[in-house]
Amino acid sequence: MDIYVRRGESFWYFSNLFNIPLQLIIDSNRDVDPNALTVGQAVKIPGYAAVDYRIRAGDTLWQIAQSRNIHLDALVLANRNSNPNQLYIGQMIKVPTRITWRIVQGKKSYDSRSFMNDVRRLESIYPFMKVPSIGKSVLGKRIPEAQIGNGNKKVHYNGAFHANEWITTPILMTFINDYLLALTNHSSIRGLSMLNLYTQMALSIVPMVNPDGVDLVLNGPPEEEPWNERVVEWNKGSIDFSDWKANIRGVDLNDQFPAEWEREKARNPTEPGPRDYVGEKPLSEPEAIAMAELTRKRDFSRVLAFHTQGKVIYWGFENLEPPESEAIVQEFSRVSGYQPVKSIESYAGYKDWFIQDWRRPGFTVELGFGINPLPLSQFDEIYEEALGIFLAGLYM
Ligand SMILES: [Zn+2]
């Protein structure tokens, strides 16, 4: 919600008036110098929406503020162009309304359009979260990265590397939404102060690495040629894409990283298809390149890649992982009930490459149990299991 500065006001005053942590107001207004506010300047107040209200007989601003549990001056501030002493029946005013509910409704077919709608809505309500793009898919769709927190410890989560594991995107988006809600409402999650985590961590989340693939699984082939014809051909003539893991060029994005890529190539299909094709070379695909560039640029202290399914957590690669990986995975296991697995015969994955090149903790978390795509009926159960891991990834 935007408000406009009056004489003598400060971020500190707005923080008290709206009961929103000062740091969140500062971070929502990075282009504003808090020590040099000018009259009439727009300031974003996170966690609020300005809701229209039509004045009825007998209304006063004082009584409207009382009934909605907001300060009278918050109401005056949101209606700077109307005279609070001269309300008339039928007049429309803005009522600052604290957002206490989830925006993200994850229990649905969550294609790239649903995803981007939620990204835009969260961005506008919680402007202290930044959501730049890290790149574009083959079909030109944005790959957004949510950045939450202004601390030093850099942690990264991602989802939907694999198209038919798209449920990982709404699971991550629900966590982002719950984190933001807890911050603006001074609440904790499972006893953890999220504001403390916010000041200590810089959390990076790429909820949908493979938007073209997700849309293929959920909506069928794209209209664009040559992909419209090719994907059906690579899918052996079938228009049922529920087994599809790859990007739109039939390359498995989690087989694209320069970590024993040749070994992965030797054991996998040699042509584009629904799954396991490694591509012509490592990092040939724009989605994989975007993830590699982000990871190099940001120098994360740990990464967690969310997949489905199996209720297992892979935490090793060629014995290159640091000793702390084992302690961390034990905590992940404790809070989720998932089984730690050190490694399997598999190479060239994102977490493999991270462990190999940084020698820091990297994990592949296989959420849920069943046949991909996992049914939405599992959503709540998966979220509860994943939530423990999301939080442990921050406090461990
Ligand atoms: Zn996967």
> What digits encode the pLDDT tens for the residues 17-62?
999 999 999 999 999 999 999 999 999 999 999 999 999 999 999 9
**Cβ contact 141:114 at 8 Å:** no
Ligand 1 centroid from CA 124, angstroms: 31
Ligand 1 centroid from CA 89, angstroms: 59
**Cβ contact 307:162 at 8 Å:** yes
Which residues, 6 or more positions from 342, have their beta carbon under 8 angstroms from its beta carbon?
Answer: 314, 315, 316
Ligand 1 centroid from CA 130, angstroms: 27
- Give the distance from CA 100 to its chain's centroid: 19
Ligand 1 centroid from CA 201, angstroms: 27
46, 256, 283, 389 from 151: Cα distances, Å: 19, 31, 30, 20
pLDDT at 81 over 90: no
The pLDDT, as a whole number, for residue 156 is 98
Ligand 1 centroid from CA 287, angstroms: 15
Ligand 1 centroid from CA 86, angstroms: 62
H/E element holding 115?
A: helix 112-125
pLDDT at 85 over 90: no
Segments making up each domain of the chain, as ranges: 2-98, 112-212+283-395
Cα separation, 170 vs 109, whole angstroms:
9
The pLDDT, as a whole number, for residue 150 is 87
The pLDDT, as a whole number, for residue 227 is 96
Which residues, 6 or more positions from 270, have their beta carbon under 8 angstroms from its beta carbon?
Answer: 277
* Nearest alpha-carbon partner for 173 in 235, 224, 131, 138: 131
* Nearest alpha-carbon partner for 98 in 60, 29, 51, 62: 51
Q: Give helix 286-298 / helix 350-358 axis angle, nearest 10°.
A: 30
The pLDDT, as a whole number, for residue 351 is 98
**Rg of the Cα trace of the chain?**
24
pLDDT at 158 over 80: yes
Share of the chain above pLDDT 90, in %: 97
Cα separation, 300 vs 153, whole angstroms:
8
Q: For residue 372, which amino acid is it?
A: N
What class does CATH assign to 2-98?
A: alpha beta
- The per-residue DSSP string of 191-245 comes to TEEHHHHHHHEEEEEES-S-HHHHHHHHH-S-SSTTHHHHHHHHTTT----TT--
pLDDT at 117 over 90: yes
> What digits encode the pLDDT tens for the residues 307-328?
999 999 999 999 999 999 999 9
> What digits encode the pLDDT tens for the residues 184-205?
999 999 999 999 999 999 999 9
Q: What is the mean pLDDT of residues 376-391?
A: 98
> What digits encode the pLDDT tens for the residues 238-286?
999 999 999 999 999 999 999 999 999 999 999 999 999 999 999 999 9
Ligand 1 centroid from CA 274, angstroms: 12
> What digits encode the pLDDT tens for the residues 100-113?
999 999 999 999 99
Q: Give helix 379-395 / helix 168-184 axis angle, nearest 10°.
A: 60
The pLDDT, as a whole number, for residue 84 is 74
**Cβ contact 303:341 at 8 Å:** no
Q: Which CATH architecture has domain 112-212+283-395?
A: 3-Layer(aba) Sandwich (3.40)
**Cβ contact 212:222 at 8 Å:** yes
Q: Establish whether 366 is a catalytic residue.
A: yes
169, 183, 204, 249, 390 from 127: Cα distances, Å: 21, 12, 15, 35, 22
Q: What is the mean pLDDT of residues 149-153?
A: 94
Ligand 1 centroid from CA 162, angstroms: 5
Ligand 1 centroid from CA 165, angstroms: 6
H/E element holding 77?
A: helix 72-78
pLDDT at 293 over 80: yes
1, 22, 26 from 47: Cα distances, Å: 8, 12, 13
List 9, 287, 366, 385, catalytic entry: 366
Structure tokens at 81: 């162009």
- Give the distance from CA 55 to its chain's centroid: 39
The pLDDT, as a whole number, for residue 75 is 95
Cα separation, 387 vs 370, whole angstroms:
19
Which residues lie near ion ligand 1 (Cβ < 5 Å)?
Answer: 162, 165, 307
Ligand 1 centroid from CA 211, angstroms: 14
Task: Please report which confidence band the pLDDT of residue 80 belongs to, taking 50, 70 and 90 as the band edges.
Answer: confident
Three-class DSSP category at 300: coil
Task: Please report which confidence band the pLDDT of residue 83 belongs to, taking 50, 70 and 90 as the band edges.
Answer: confident
User: pTM value?
Assistant: 0.97
> What digits encode the pLDDT tens for the residues 202-246?
999 999 999 999 999 999 999 999 999 999 999 999 999 999 999
- Judging by beta carbons within 10 Å of its beta carbon (0-12, 13-18, 19+), is residue 243 exposed, middle or buried? middle
- The mean pLDDT value of the chain amounts to 97
> What digits encode the pLDDT tens for the residues 362-371?
999 999 999 9
pLDDT at 385 over 80: yes
Ligand 1 centroid from CA 309, angstroms: 7
